[in-house]
Structures are given as structure tokens and as C-alpha cells.
């Protein structure tokens, strides 16, 4: 949706700039953006882009403990109303849904995990943790779960598109969660 808006704006800008230079011929339609830029890249260039996202060694062991055939990781993002607050559109429905997540949703999940004695990973936007400070102690009291960062306010990093700002938000989130947890978060999942 956003890229569509931008392309409309780009088209408008082209038309406007064409108007301001008072063309003597009919304005031509703006060129269509190249839908398949990869077609023109060499195999070496494609290889570079492909490997750019290789971030770690493979963690899958040769075999799972106790002859298990699969391993399952349960992880939860406790976004609550953070994304709604980020967009500045605090309507009653998304806000109460977010509050439900903190007040009822998380305790219900914790009870199920308790019952099955299963550990899980929780990723929390720092703002969500600050607005419902009871969440982190509730998770920590089980002594089997881990907590990671899920952005400052569930910012959309693709739309933000600003490395310095992203780093700043990550640092701020780490600081807030470290204070709330009494230890550093175990990792980061981008919102």
C-alpha cells in the first residue's frame, strides 16, 4: 500500500515538474519502475545478495537428544497496543485488544506453559513492557522462560528505513528492558 502511495506521489512529482518547465510537447507517461531488477544482474551479483542474509551457522544438530524426531520452539511476541501507539491511531478496539493481551492473554499463555512445563521465548517491545510493568515479573517468576527485545514501539523498520534511528531505538529498548529485567535481554527479533 505504502509503495503504491509513493509511486503515485512520484508520478505526481514528475507531472508537476513537467508542468513547471512548460513543455511544448505533450508530457509522456512516467516510466514504469523496473519490476524485475534481478534479471539484469550477473550470477556473482546475485550470489552476493543471496548470501547477504546468511547471518549465522546452522544450529540444527546431527540428531536431537533422546532420539527425538523433531524439536519445537515456542515463542510469543507480546506486542499489545505498541504498534497502534506507534502509528498514533489509538482507536478503542486496538487499544483494548492490546490491553487484553497484557492483562488476560499473557497470564493465560503462562498458565498453559506451566501446566505442560514447557519453556518459551517472549519478545517484547520496550514500550509494551513499560506500559504493563507486571508482565516481565510474571514471566520471570516461572524461571524457565527467556525474554528478548521486539523493538521500541513495534516500529516498522522497512518504513523507518533509517539505520541510525533503528540502532538508537534498539539501544533504548535494550536499556529499558535490562532495567526492568535486572539482566540483559537474550536477543532481538525485529518488529
Please give the residue ranges that form the binding site for Zn ion (CB under 5 A): 77, 79, 191
* Nearest residue (CB) to Zn ion, 113 versus 149: 149
Place of cell 518547465: 21
Cβ–Cβ < 8 Å for 78, 180: no
* Nearest residue (CB) to Zn ion, 30 versus 100: 100
Cβ–Cβ < 8 Å for 101, 131: no
Closest approach of Zn ion to the CB of residue 153, in Å: 11
Q: Which residue is nearest to Zn ion (CB)?
A: 77
* Nearest residue (CB) to Zn ion, 86 versus 113: 86
Closest approach of Zn ion to the CB of residue 74, in Å: 15
* Nearest residue (CB) to Zn ion, 18 versus 74: 74
Closest approach of Zn ion to the CB of residue 142, in Å: 21
Distance CA 104, CA 94 (A): 15
Closest approach of Zn ion to the CB of residue 5, in Å: 23
DSSP assignment string, 86-114: HHT---HHHHHHHHHIIIIIHHHHHHHHH
Cβ–Cβ < 8 Å for 122, 146: yes
Amino acid at each position: 500500500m505504502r509503495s503504491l502511495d509513493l509511486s503515485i506521489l512520484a508520478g505526481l512529482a514528475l507531472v508537476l515538474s513537467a508542468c513547471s518547465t512548460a513543455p511544448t510537447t505533450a508530457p509522456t507517461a512516467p516510466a514504469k519502475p523496473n519490476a524485475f531488477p534481478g534479471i539484469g544482474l550477473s550470477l556473482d551479483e546475485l550470489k552476493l545478495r543471496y548470501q547477504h542474509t546468511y547471518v549465522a551457522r546452522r544450529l540444527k544438530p546431527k540428531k536431537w537428544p533422546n532420539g527425538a524426531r523433531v524439536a519445537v520452539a515456542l515463542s510469543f511476541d507480546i506486542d499489545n497496543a505498541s504498534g497502534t501507539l506507534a502509528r498514533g491511531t489509538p482507536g478503542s478496539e486496538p487499544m483494548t485488544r492490546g490491553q487484553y493481551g497484557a492483562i488476560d492473554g499473557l497470564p493465560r499463555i503462562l498458565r498453559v506453559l506451566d501446566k505442560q512445563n514447557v519453556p518459551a521465548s517472549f519478545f517484547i517491545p520496550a514500550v509494551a513492557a513499560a506500559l504493563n510493568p507486571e508482565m516481565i515479573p510474571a514471566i520471570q517468576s516461572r524461571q524457565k522462560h527467556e525474554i528478548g527485545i521486539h523493538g521500541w514501539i513495534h516500529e516498522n523498520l522497512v518504513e523507518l528505513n533509517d539505520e541510525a534511528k533503528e540502532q538508537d531505538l534498539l539501544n533504548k529498548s535494550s536499556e529499558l528492558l535490562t532495567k526492568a529485567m535486572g539482566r540483559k535481554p537474550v536477543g532481538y527479533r525485529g518488529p
